[in-house]
Amino acid sequence: MDDSPLIAKLKALVGNDPVFLGKARVISTGGIPMPLDALLAEIDDTVLERTLVFDIDGLTLRAAVAGRRLRGVLDVTDQPVNGFIGQVLSQDDPDMRHRISALLADLCNNAEQITVKSLPAENFGDPSDAGISAAALTQDTREMDPPSSSPMGQFLAAIGTDVTAFLYVVKGEIVRSKGDTTAVDLAWCHQSDPLRNSQKAIFPQDKDPTLTCLAPALRDGQAIAIARIGDEIGVLSYPSDGFGHILAAWHETTR
C-alpha cells in the first residue's frame, strides 16, 4: 500500500539527495548534522555485515559493523593496534564500551566533513560476537564530560560537581547529558524558546552570553538555569542554594 511505513521510509530515503565525493557519501559537513551523531547513525542503519570506511577530515576509520552494532574498529589512521583497536568489542565490558565511545567522540570533535563507504565485510572475529549497539554508544557519548574546546563546554565541565543534571545543546541538537534530565528536558522543550524571545524583545541588540535562572525552584529543592553562548546552550539543574559556584564559573568562562 502506498501509505505503508516501508513506502514512507523509502520515499524519505530517496528524497535525501545524498552527496558523493567519488565513491564516498558525505554524511556530515560543516557540523551538520553533528559529526558524531552522523557516524553513529551509519552504524545504526547497517543491518548486514559490512566494513564501513569513514573519512573524518582526512583521517580514516575502518569499522566492522553488523546488526546495527559496531563489532570492532579495524584500524584508525596513525593509531596503534592495541587495546580495543583491532579487537572484537563486547557490550558486556563497560570499560571497553566507554573507551570506544571516547575514541569516536574525540575523532569526531569539531570535524568539518565526514564521508563513508560501505564495503564487503572482512573476516573479523566470530559471527556470534554481537559487538556494541549504536544505541549504547550514543548513550555513552551523551553521558561523557562535555568537550572543553568551546566556552560552553568549559563552563559545563567546570560545574560538573555542582549540578545534578544538564543538557548540552549545540545548534539545536542535544550532544551531551548528565543525570536525571526529566526536569531539564521540560525546561529545554517548553521554556528555552519563549525565554529567548522575551530576551530579544527586551534587549534588541541580542545580549550574549546569557545565564538565566528560572523561578521558582523545583519541589525537591532543585533550581533550573539556562546558559547560552552563541549557538550552544546548557540547561542545568542544581541545588537551589548552590548558585554561587555556578555563577563564579560563569563569570570565569565569559569574562
Contacts of 48 by beta carbon, 8 Å cutoff, 6+ apart: 66, 121
What was the pLDDT predicted at 52? 98
Instruction: Give Cα 230 to chain centroid, integer Å.
Output: 18
Task: State the pLDDT at residue 252.
Answer: 92
Confidence of residue 249 (pLDDT cuts 50, 70, 90): very high
The predicted-structure confidence for 27-39, as pLDDT tens digits, reads as follows 999 888 889 999 9
Which residue(s) pair with 239 in the sheet?
222
pLDDT score for 18: 83
CATH assignment, 151-254 = 3.30.450.30
pTM beyond 0.85: the answer is no
CA distance 133 to 244: 40
Bridge partners of residue 76, in order along the sequence: 61
User: What residue spans define the domains of the chain?
Assistant: 5-142, 151-254
Name the amino acid, one letter, at 229.
Answer: I
Average pLDDT of 19-48? 92
> Rounded to whole angstroms, how far apart are CA atoms 33 and 215?
33
Segments of 3-68 assigned E as strands: 19-21, 24-29, 50-56, 59-66
What pLDDT, in 10s, does the model give residues 61-110? 999 999 999 999 999 998 766 668 888 998 888 888 888 998 898 899 88
